[in-house]
Amino acid sequence: MRKTFILLAALFSILNASAQTIFQQDSAWIRDNYTKKELYIPMRDGKKLFTAIYAPKDGSEKHPILMNRTPYSCYPYGEQNFRAMWNSHWRYYLREGYIIVIQDVRGRWMSEGEFVDVRPFNPDKKTPQDIDEASDTYDAIDWLVKNQPNNNGNVGVFGISYPGFYSTMAAASGHPALKAVSPQAPVTEWFLGDDFHHNGAFSLVDAISFYGGGFGFPRPAPTMQGPSSSLKLPDNDNYQTYLQIGALPNFMKLLGDSVKFLKDLYAHPNYDEFWKARNARNAMYNIKPAMLVVGGLFDAEDCYGAWNLYKAIEKQNPSANNKLVMGPWHHGQWSAPNGSSMGNVRFGSRTSEWYQNNIELPFFNFYLKGKGEDPKLAEATIFFSGENQWKKLDQWPPAAMQPTPVYLQSNGTLDWNKPAAKEGFTEYISDPAKPVPYTEDVHFGRTREYMTDDQRFASRRPDVLVFQTPVLTEDLTLAGPITADLKVSISSTDADFIVKVIDVFPDDFKYAEGSTYPMGGYQMLVRGEIMRGKFRKSFENPVPFKPNTPDEVKYSLPDIAHTFKKGHRLMIQVQSSWFPLMDRNPQQFMNIYEAKDSDFKKATIRILHNSANASAIYLPIIK
């Protein structure tokens, strides 16, 4: 064993040294073959946006422009300071001779103007003062194609997460030089599913750590220095820390009065015009460039945005050249090396590198350089976890998908037939003082791996209901959105409902590579989503539950692409807290952003499963 360990350690050292050598070679090559300049590009209203341009020294041909607009800074500042693009797949574009443009968006870092979070799209611009992110992109592209030496007149835009939102807005700009756009994990809808809300429930740890951690603090003037935060959370177990802080107003007291967007968020507890105006899908009409929407099946932040932006473009632009790629990735993992695992789960190949070399680079090369044959990408290129295979599909969801109900049963089983009994329910006590954690371990911050974490810790809690099939005798493939249709009765006037779809591995399951984690009986979270009960009928106009009266909570979970292999089981878990991933519900009908610590009450939650009230999960089954 000791010899094996020494050999493995030596091999890892050699591979790591080899990778470092390659990166060092790329670093030297890029500096030898590229120049960097920094300048301000004027917008139509007179404001100027700070822009870094990395241009090839090669003047023998004209080069395409690939642009990234970001609120996270086009660091490092200074024309002698190069961004370390040789450490990411950006180096491929430098090797291909692209002009790389990185721009601080309006009001961030070194750019002039006022920053507005997910600035609403304005379809009716009449004067130079009517600006949005689409117009800023148009103006930047227009300046670049007219003023940047040796450009070939073709522009592409890409970006991940918040820069994915700016990529979406670029697609709406309408500039004729813009030929290809790739919104990746794009921020799309901040009330229904991305980042800071899921079906109206507040994503507590993400919102507080992001906005309270510095992003939301004001920047009164252009600066190269990042914003500083006044928030001082204890450096401790985040479950215990967030529980001790308590009700949502207590977090605002810690933050003070400086974080404008959180103040706006607290002031708009329902799906009103503030949120509707910030739905990026509003801009997805008359889309001309080729579109490549990319996301991660296990993205904890913007999984919703990738699936639903693609669907909006399809629906609102039937003739658009619009493609979808979803891989087995956490947030942004497709831009990193490898992509062969997520937490304890292995995917059998280096999925990120495959995507970079077979999808993204050929996409931009064809539309911006005219290089190679038309990649003729499939409408949807989707990785199916479980079977660990890429599939090229003619549409998404697949035409063969059939929404099929599986019913929750009294004995903790799942069955394809409705329960026959006239009476039947399973109940639990939901106690906000002891909420169900989202992960088993102790952490300082929210993990990304929870999206595939083992759920055995949750199965052991009395406030988590477990329903599962017998051992599957054949593969079960799901491809598309899941719908939870719960028939419930609660003792209070409000409650949350979390439905988790879980792949239960065989008891004797072992990874061939010898994983040290006990994978036998592993309960892999495949998809989970929350619904704030008061929004069950309307996100605009919440309504209370009538205590101890049957009601329906029906909602969609983000799409899934997973095969439950023969010998595995399908499990459904139902619970009413998921902390501190999501904020706690006081389990009283009220504005939770104004709740006091004394407002949090226990509630008895019943999940009904009888002939009159049959709770079901509608699965997108591929027959």
What separation in angstroms does the CA of 335 have from each of 74, 99, 305, 354, 586?
17, 19, 17, 11, 40
pLDDT tens-digit series, residues 58-70: 999 999 999 999 9
The answer to whether residue 256 sits within a structural domain is yes
The reported pLDDT for the residue numbered 4 is: 37
Same domain for 102 and 122?
Answer: yes
Same domain for 504 and 593?
Answer: yes
Q: Which pTM was predicted?
A: 0.94
Same domain for 215 and 161?
Answer: no
CATH label of the domain that carries residue 256: 1.10.3020.10
The reported pLDDT for the residue numbered 513 is: 66
Contact predicate 593/586, CB 8 Å: no
> H helices of 237-302, where?
238-245, 248-255, 260-267, 273-276
Question: How many residues comprise the chain?
Answer: 623
Of 194-203, 214-223, 408-417, 427-436, the poorest mean pLDDT is in: 214-223
Domain boundary (261, 276, 291) is at 276
The answer to whether residue 593 sits within a structural domain is yes
Question: Predicted confidence band at 510 (pLDDT cuts at 50, 70, 90)?
Answer: confident
Contact predicate 174/288, CB 8 Å: yes
Domain boundary (276, 292, 312) is at 276
Same domain for 208 and 294?
Answer: no
DSSP-assigned beta bridge partners for residue 487: 552
The percent of residues in the chain predicted with pLDDT above 70, rounded, is 95
CATH label of the domain that carries residue 411: 2.60.120.260
Same domain for 219 and 315?
Answer: no
pLDDT tens-digit series, residues 284-297: 999 999 999 999 99
User: Average of pLDDT values for 354-362?
Assistant: 95
Instruction: Give the contacts of 14 (CB within 8 A, at least 6 positions apart).
Output: none
C-alpha 330: how far from chain center: 8
User: Average of pLDDT values for 429-436?
Assistant: 98
The answer to whether residue 488 sits within a structural domain is yes
The answer to whether residue 115 sits within a structural domain is yes
User: Average of pLDDT values for 316-331?
Assistant: 97
Same domain for 295 and 443?
Answer: no
User: Average of pLDDT values for 501-513?
Assistant: 89
Q: How far apart are CA 526 and CA 519, in angstroms?
A: 15
Domain boundary (276, 291, 324) is at 276
CATH label of the domain that carries residue 184: 3.40.50.1820
Residue with tokens 């949807």: 380
Residue 546 has pLDDT above 50, yes or no: yes
How many structural domains is the chain composed of?
3
Residue 1 has pLDDT above 50, yes or no: no
The reported pLDDT for the residue numbered 6 is: 41
Same domain for 426 and 554?
Answer: yes
Residue 228 has pLDDT above 90, yes or no: no
User: Average of pLDDT values for 19-27?
Assistant: 60
What separation in angstroms does the CA of 124 have from each of 132, 137, 326, 358?
11, 16, 34, 39
Same domain for 248 and 345?
Answer: no
Same domain for 108 and 42?
Answer: yes
Mean per-residue pLDDT over the chain, rounded? 94
The reported pLDDT for the residue numbered 16 is: 46
Tokens of 531: 């619904």
Extended beta strands in 105-229, E state: 151-160, 178-184, 197-198, 201-202
- Note down the domain range covering 307: 2-189+278-393
The reported pLDDT for the residue numbered 3 is: 40
Same domain for 243 and 295?
Answer: no
The reported pLDDT for the residue numbered 588 is: 98
The reported pLDDT for the residue numbered 26 is: 80
The answer to whether residue 194 sits within a structural domain is no
Q: How far apart are CA 473 and CA 561, in angstroms?
A: 20
**325 vs 444, higher pLDDT:** 325
The answer to whether residue 308 sits within a structural domain is yes
**27 vs 77, higher pLDDT:** 77
pLDDT tens-digit series, residues 568-616: 999 999 999 999 999 999 999 999 999 999 999 999 999 999 999 999 9
The answer to whether residue 343 sits within a structural domain is yes
Same domain for 217 and 301?
Answer: no
Tokens of 388: 């660990």
Same domain for 103 and 219?
Answer: no
